[in-house]
Structure 1
Amino acid sequence: MADLQPIETALEALLKDVNPLDAESIALEAAAGRVLAEAVTAQLDVPPFDNSAMDGYALRAVDAGQWLPVSQRIAAGTPAQALALGSCARIFTGGEIPPGADCVVMQERVEVDGGRALMPADIPAGDNVRRQGRDVKSGAVLLSAGVRLEAAALGHLAGQGITQVNVRRRPRVALLSTGDEIIDPGTPLKPGQLYNSNRPMLKRLLENFGAEVVQLVSVPDNYAQTVALLHQAAEEADVVISTGGVSVGEEDHVKAALEALGQLDMWKLAIRPGKPLALGRLPRKEGSQARFVGLPGNPVSSFVGAWLFLRPLLGAMLVCPALTSLPVVTAKAGFATSTGPREHYMRVTLTFAPSGVTAAAFEDQNSGVLSSCINADALAVIPPNSDIAKNDAIRCLWLAS
């Protein structure tokens, strides 16, 4: 096992000299999931004026406990007039607090008689008032560079009236499936053939990680064709990913083709699943390089490798800290296991309770059992040469895209 490298060494090689992708300006409505290339500064206070947090009556706190005439009605979107002394205003959620008022009482606490309303006593100033700038102050950093634009962030930008944002260009990825035995669904299986489960699985993961998959290529078990297809993929993609073909079999041509075209940075890792994993670079005509990641052909190995290597690589290209590392959860093992000289990444589900977090492992952890990944929400990291007993504390990587 001396030639097997730890995952830390592999990640260091993978992320060395990664260049951030260029920025582009796109419409906010098309920016879901994209990564901000530059910080955005707020131009407006949010909310832009003091407004009511509920339907009720706006008044001066000193007038609490009295019958007050209702001097105006303020719906959301209606300008408010200065509040007449000794009066209250009927107001609705989001309505502007009228100048002179300093609190709002909810309508359920008010007794109404014609044009008058009886206010309850002891209403504190500021009650049920959403102050101008409570959420955002003009001039403050609204969102930092590197933030991924999900639902709340998109709403935050829209609240400033923003229609265009500068984001990182999505990494272009070529996904190559190797092996004569791997065929696409829809074609009748012949003896010895398997349907390609890696392709749709990895395509979905890559898109969740922020990439644009620009090539889906089947690579035959032929060295010359492997070289040609790798070269073609590198010209179009920022990252070239292959599944299978990186082991030591006579029909595994990817490693040799990579070495002939570019450079091999790392091969064979001390992890389970996923030992035969190749990392390298492929040259382009204009002098730049495409990154190469050769994943094992077993579907679980590809699944685990995508989370451990593809996600941080794409995160580094997008300059997105949230993608470069997975959240860590400490849990109690709901199982017992022993490991050999390789670090084991077990597919587990996490249960949260007042007593703590428990990790339950899928019974069959074989690298060919893709069903172990379907309900997995974390990877339990079991160090090499370890004996884990039930209820031992273990480190889990939360699978958050």
Structure 2
Amino acid sequence: MISVTEAQQLIIQKAKLLDTFTLNLEDAFGYFLAEDLTAPINLPSFRQSAMDGYAFIHTDKTELKVVGQVQAGDTQIPDLKKGEAIRIFTGAPVPDAADTVVIQEHTTRNGDQLILDKLPHKEANVRPIGEQITAGTYVLKTGHQINEASLGFMAGLGFTKIEVYRKPSVTILTTGNELQKPGTPLKPNHIYESNGIMLKSALGRIGITKVQNLKAQDTLEATKKAVKNALQQSDVLLVSGGISVGDYDFVQEALLSNGVKEHFYKVNQKPGKPLWFGTSEEKSIFGLPGNPASSLTAFYVYVLPHLRSRMGSLLPFLNERKAELTEDITNKIGKTLFLKAGVADTKITAYTGQASSMLNTYALSNALLVVPETETDLKAGDVVNYMDLSF
């Protein structure tokens, strides 16, 4: 059994980058850049007016003559002399001779006569060439996750295609003869299968949509065959259940018989101690606990950062933040605890119902409160770390 820190180090060390491909910019949201981008042009590429108003050559005079107009997109720009002004609109090119734009709210106009009610400082409201970025400088670097702002930024520089890391295909393999598909009358001593839809949705939150759900019967041969098929079809295999030490837990043997190399089995934590991780060439395999809350915790703490790392992220783990405890917490078992919790303002409260089978409190949680294995007693008012689930 290894510590949480050791397990997290291993899942990053063994995260091989997926291959890259060229993608249309309009389809790139959520992907990670696989290249450093440099600006092909200055932005803006010409001097722009930052406001609606009047362009002029700065002077102490407060009365000017309006001699023309320019709007965004115009290519013919009127000439301008001292003592003259040109009506101008936001984003329009500033005439070469002009060095200042006065906003229209600070003027009074009567025909072609313009009175400056408030004289701006020289160069006011003029965006210089390259104010945002200059040609040849870095725009975004490898590992940047593309968001709506970076899409707009790249489009403004004229990019139409970029190189990104591929997202993985994933198979979720559930085991357990007691599991039954929702929507059918529940048989005696059965439970509805919930981990499949839960894990698929969690994958969707990090942009992975090529996901298939498979079911294996609780026999060694059926599990071995299901594992073999999944490894042939997907980059990543998440096995739900069957990884503990019961008489009908065949997952570990099935994985090893299919040539998967084990990197660790069991982590000193609660919930989710019976966690298995291995690789097979370019494939990643996690054996997750069957209990739903344990499975989801293992996903957040290990699977998510491993997948994000393979997708090119330089910051793969969920954000850790700090908050003040509202109640005492005792940890007498010498394990790292991941507690379902709620954060409001600067306070954090661990919910009741921490059992590994319980999703009712998980559904309300926006945080995983982390109690290190070395901490035995935390008091109300202590500042603690938590993993932010609002990602």
Matches of 2:78 and 2:337 in 1, distance apart? Answer: 68
Matches of 2:222 and 2:29 in 1, distance apart? Answer: 38
**Structure 1 counterpart of 2:301:** 308
Matches of 2:181 and 2:135 in 1, distance apart? Answer: 54
Matches of 1:213 and 1:229 in 2, distance apart? Answer: 18
Query: How far 1:289 moved relative to its partner?
Result: 4.2
Aligned residue among 347, 350, 362 for 2:343: 350
What is the TM-score of this pair, normalised by structure 2? Answer: 0.94
Aligned residue among 379, 385, 388 for 2:378: 388
Query: How far 1:121 moved relative to its partner?
Result: 4.2
Superposed CA offset, 1:57-94 (max 9, x none): 1122224x511111111111123333232111111111
Query: How far 1:343 moved relative to its partner?
Result: 0.7
Query: How far 1:212 moved relative to its partner?
Result: 4.2
RMSD, aligned α-carbons = 1.7
Matches of 2:172 and 2:87 in 1, distance apart? Answer: 62
Q: Which amino acid in 1 is paired with 2:359?
A: L
**Structure 1 counterpart of 2:210:** 213
Superposed CA offset, 1:15-65 (max 9, x none): 3343211111111111111111111111011122121222111122224x5
Q: Which amino acid in 2 is paired with 1:362?
A: Y
Q: Is the 8 A contact 1:241 1:292 kept in 2?
A: yes
Superposed CA offset, 1:172-197 (max 9, x none): 21111111222222222212222222
What are the within-5 Å matches in structure 2 for residues 236-247 of structure 1? 236-247=233-244
Aligned residue among 73, 83, 87 for 1:86: 83
Superposed CA offset, 1:318-368 (max 9, x none): 22113x22222121112221112211111223233xxxx221222322222
The answer to whether 1:16 aligns with 2:9 is no
Matches of 2:353 and 2:360 in 1, distance apart? Answer: 9
Q: Is the 8 A contact 2:16 2:282 kept in 1?
A: no
Matches of 2:156 and 2:245 in 1, distance apart? Answer: 56
The answer to whether 1:270 aligns with 2:272 is no
What are the within-5 Å matches in structure 2 for residues 52-131 of structure 1? 52-63=49-60, 65-79=61-75, 80-131=77-128
Q: Is the 8 A contact 1:71 1:84 kept in 2?
A: no
Aligned residue among 148, 151, 170 for 2:148: 151
**Structure 1 counterpart of 2:48:** 51
The answer to whether 1:193 aligns with 2:190 is yes
Q: Is the 8 A contact 2:35 2:164 kept in 1?
A: yes
What is the TM-score of this pair, normalised by structure 1? Answer: 0.92
Q: Is the 8 A contact 2:25 2:161 kept in 1?
A: yes
Q: Which amino acid in 2 is paired with 1:116?
A: Q
Q: Which runs of 5+ in 2 are unaligned?
A: none
**Structure 2 counterpart of 1:280:** 278
**Structure 2 counterpart of 1:333:** 325
Percent identity, please.
Answer: 32
Q: Aligned to 2:361, what secondary structure does the other structure show?
A: helix
- Which ranges of 4 or more aligned residues in structure 1 deviate by more than 4 Å? none
Query: How far 1:13 moved relative to its partner?
Result: 2.8
**Structure 2 counterpart of 1:285:** none
Superposed CA offset, 1:87-130 (max 9, x none): 11111111111112122222111111111110134411121222
**Number of aligned residues:** 387
Matches of 2:101 and 2:180 in 1, distance apart? Answer: 67
Matches of 2:47 and 2:367 in 1, distance apart? Answer: 44
Q: Aligned to 2:144, what secondary structure does the other structure show?
A: coil
User: For structure 1, which segment, 102-111 or 121-130, has the greater mean C-alpha deviation from structure 2 after superposition?
Assistant: 121-130
Q: Which amino acid in 1 is paired with 2:379?
A: A
Matches of 1:247 and 1:138 in 2, distance apart? Answer: 58
Matches of 2:309 and 2:351 in 1, distance apart? Answer: 31
Q: Aligned to 1:371, what secondary structure does the other structure show?
A: coil
Q: Is the 8 A contact 1:14 1:313 kept in 2?
A: yes
User: For structure 1, which segment, 254-263 or 304-313, has the greater mean C-alpha deviation from structure 2 after superposition?
Assistant: 254-263
Matches of 1:218 and 1:83 in 2, distance apart? Answer: 76
Matches of 2:282 and 2:87 in 1, distance apart? Answer: 66
**Structure 1 counterpart of 2:135:** 138
Query: How far 1:210 moved relative to its partner?
Result: 4.0
Matches of 1:375 and 1:78 in 2, distance apart? Answer: 55
Superposed CA offset, 1:187-241 (max 9, x none): 2221222222222221122233343434210111111010011011111212111
